[in-house]
Amino acid sequence: MQPMVNLALRVLREAGEELVHAVERFDFERSSDQEISRFVTDSAIRTEKQIIFKLRKHFPEDTFQGRETGTQERDEKSGNKWLINPLEGHDNFRSGLPLYSLVLACQIEGKTEHAVIINPITGQEFTASRGRGAELSGRRIRASEKIKLSQSTVAIKFPGIAQDERNDRIRQRIGNLSQNTRMIRALGDDALSFAHLAAGQVDAAWLNNVDSITLQAGSLIAKEAGVLITDFSGGPNYESEGDVIASNPKLLKSVIKSSL
């Protein structure tokens, strides 16, 4: 494992442990919706600040871009940029479901070179460095080798409740996909959807409006595990809107075709 990844992993692990302890102390049952929303927001901000503070000790000249606190640059830029999403899977987190994650990516000269995704509840730690493969808790992982969509499990993400043309189209395409696959699973966490795809625990992913930081980290881990990624039309522009279709090379065409 690369030294930068090892260090980043330790930082996320410590932040994740504190996040879990905060959840254990918070009384969800007796709290109002407003109090829960404030707790979720405060937890995300606090976790992000903690991650940046600890990383900056080791990389004082680097730039840090947090989902919650924005971009923090140094006068003397090193060319390295850390992307931090301190809490992916907000709705799961506020509901007490053990499916949320901390996400980190490191860009060097504008290209994502390292990525870490951890689930602090299960202790699963997904990592990757460009050209060096992907790992789950230190063990090398590869994408599923399924070739038939009818035998595959697909991780999906439902759109929001807004009734507009885009969301209606996404719902229709998910419906089409569900008729051709063995099962679909909405994990409620895009980062973990990428991670479990990389580990072969799901066979494909069909995700809309993925957060840009999550997309950078998740796509690197998935690609290093042998996953191909396209936009909803099968093209390369998945970063523009965060719309992603992903699977191993042999299954990809079936996923795209079945979701039209």
Q: What is the mean pLDDT of residues 242-255?
A: 96
Is residue 75 pLDDT above 70, yes or no?
A: no
Rg over alpha carbons for the chain, rounded to the nearest Å, is 18
pTM, full prediction: 0.95
Q: How confident is the model at residue 120 (pLDDT cuts 50, 70, 90)?
A: very high
| CATH classification for the domain delimited by 149-258, as one of 1.20.1250.20, 3.40.190.80, 3.40.630.10, 2.60.40.1220 | 3.40.190.80
Q: How confident is the model at residue 245 (pLDDT cuts 50, 70, 90)?
A: very high
Give the chain's mean pLDDT. Answer: 94
Q: CA 88, 92, 93, 95: dihedral to nearest 10 degrees?
A: 160
Kindly report each contact of residues 130-135 with a partner whose C-beta sits within 8 Å and lies 24 or more positions away, as own/partner: 130/220, 130/224, 131/224, 132/2, 132/224, 133/224, 133/225, 134/198, 134/221, 134/222, 134/224, 134/225, 135/1
Q: Are 153 and 203 in contact (CB under 8 A)?
A: yes
**Beta pairing partners, 185:** 155
Distance CA 102, CA 32 (A): 25
Is residue 126 pLDDT above 80, yes or no?
A: yes
- 3-141, what's its fold? Fructose-1,6-Bisphosphatase; Chain A, domain 1 (3.30.540)
pLDDT over 90 for what percent of the chain? Answer: 87
Residue linked to tokens 């009818």? 150
Between strands 153-156 and 183-185, the pairing is parallel
The DSSP call for residue 150 is G
Of residues 158, 206, 198, 162, the one with CA closest to residue 181: 206
**Which amino acid is it at 249?**
P
Between strands 134-136 and 124-129, the pairing is antiparallel
13-32: per-residue pLDDT in tens? 999 999 999 999 999 889 99
Distance CA 31, CA 25 (A): 12
Provide φ and ψ at 146, rounded to 5°: -60, 145
31-41: per-residue pLDDT in tens? 999 999 999 99
* b/e per residue 91-106 (b: at least 16 CB within 10 A): ebbbeeeebbbbbbbb
Q: Are 76 and 96 in contact (CB under 8 A)?
A: no
Q: Domain ranges in the chain?
A: 3-141, 149-258
